[in-house]
Amino acid sequence: MEKSDPKNLKADTSYANIDILRNSIDEIDEKIVSLFNKRLMVAKEIGELKELNNDQVQDIERENSLLKGLEKLNKGPLKNSTLNHIYKEIIAASREIQSPQLVAYLGPEATFTNIAAIKHFGHSVTFVPRPSIRDVFLEVEKGVVNYGVVPVENSIEGAVNHTLDLFFESDLKICAEIFYTISHDLLATTGSLEDIKVIYSHPHAFAQCRRWLRRHLPSAELSECSSTAHAARKASKESGSAAIAGTEAAHLYNLQIVSSGIEDFSRNITRFLVIGHDEAKMTGNDKTSVMFVTTHVPGALYKVLKPVADAEINMAKLESRPTKYENWSYFLFADLEGHIEDSKMRRAIDEMKSLTLYLKILGSYPKAQNID
């Protein structure tokens, strides 16, 4: 009688155990899918009640509270960052079933603004690319879309002035902020530095990669585009050209990454704003943005900001822009830590208003929870 090979028996047992475990995973997945759909149906009922009460669909305070609560429940081995990512998509799907959402962004597809919008809203909403920041504002103002996402400042290059200027013309509110860490790649069809004669990109991207370009491609012609994604699209159609853009643009336009992470400074962070008609509720960790014009007298700015200091409100940002309607006249933009519903903030802003020629509250909104 032939003896069985112990190694074969062990292998057979191992495969049998894997099959049993895979069957367990299949059963768990079946329950998860069923529970996801059950959750969506409850969310739909909540949406119907919100509609009756004329409440807005997106409730950032509730969403942030939910995510924090789930992190406390999580005992591992699932990482909180992974749990957060999964539930952001579930929340996005819940919003979508309550009321389909359209979100405009500075396009085309695969711009950093597009990526930031997906980070905030998830993949379930419908994203609408627009060729300019002004177009994003107009689409939201006219009600063609529910929200817009626009860049407002970069940690290296400073303010996006066009975004600031448009707030004077618009009645839209800032509903949320998004921070996104920018990393630039050099993309081309051939994947070779030697073939590159011209490089396309947005002016900010060129500015953020100056040293790398001087060192590696000093003779290449630099051609400015309206966005990094537009640059990638151009490079995909022209031999001997390249683009500075993000990894997502390489995938979308079938380009090779010649060199990655070519920015001069790490932790290159861009701040984006979500604009819309909603008034965001107080969360306890908020910002209020205002724009104002001071009188032309000595000490005017000091007097306007004194109520903020007296109320012990932290000012996170102060930026000036020409009004364009009168020479040497400036708007000032300030980010104050706190919410307009807080009586301390309300008193300070009311006092500021009495000391200015013009003051406009751009919105109170939750501070961005993290930087990716």
Domain boundaries, the chain: 6-98, 185-267, 279-372
Domain 185-267 homologous superfamily, CATH: Periplasmic binding protein-like II (3.40.190.10)
- The fold of 6-98 is Chorismate Mutase Domain, subunit A (1.20.59)
Q: Which CATH architecture has domain 279-372?
A: 2-Layer Sandwich (3.30)
**Can you tell me the distance from the alpha carbon of 92 to that of 200, in angstroms, rounded to the nearest whole number?**
34
For residues 21 and 24, give the distance between their C-alpha atoms in angstroms, rounded to a whole number.
5
Would you report the helix, strand and coil content of the chain in percent, each value rounded to 5?
Answer: 45, 25, 30
Strand 256-259 with 185-188, pairing: antiparallel
- 247-84-181-321 Cα dihedral, nearest 10 degrees: 120
DSSP string, 186-217: EEESS--GGG--EEEE-HHHHHHTHHHHHHH-
* Distance set, CA 300 to CA 259, 311, 357, 370 (Å): 50, 18, 11, 36
Closest CA to 84 of 69, 96, 103: 69
DSSP one-letter code for 314: -
Q: Record the pTM.
A: 0.78
Contacts of 364 (CB under 8 A, 6+ apart): 279, 280, 282, 286, 287, 288, 289, 338, 339, 340, 341, 345
Q: 372, 359, 371, 370: which is closest to 288 by C-alpha? A: 359
Q: Which amino acid is residue 119, in one-letter code?
A: K
What is the pLDDT tens value at each position of the chain, 372 positions in all?
A: 455 555 555 556 676 788 888 889 999 999 999 998 998 889 888 888 887 887 777 777 788 888 889 999 999 898 988 888 888 888 888 877 887 789 999 988 888 999 999 988 888 889 999 999 999 999 999 999 999 999 999 887 778 888 999 998 899 999 999 999 989 999 999 878 888 999 999 998 999 999 999 999 999 999 999 889 999 999 999 999 999 999 989 989 999 999 999 999 877 899 999 999 988 889 889 999 999 999 888 899 999 999 999 999 999 999 988 876 666 578 899 999 999 999 999 999 999 999 999 999 999 999 987 655
Which residues lie closer than 8 Å to 207 by C-beta, 6 or more apart? 156, 157
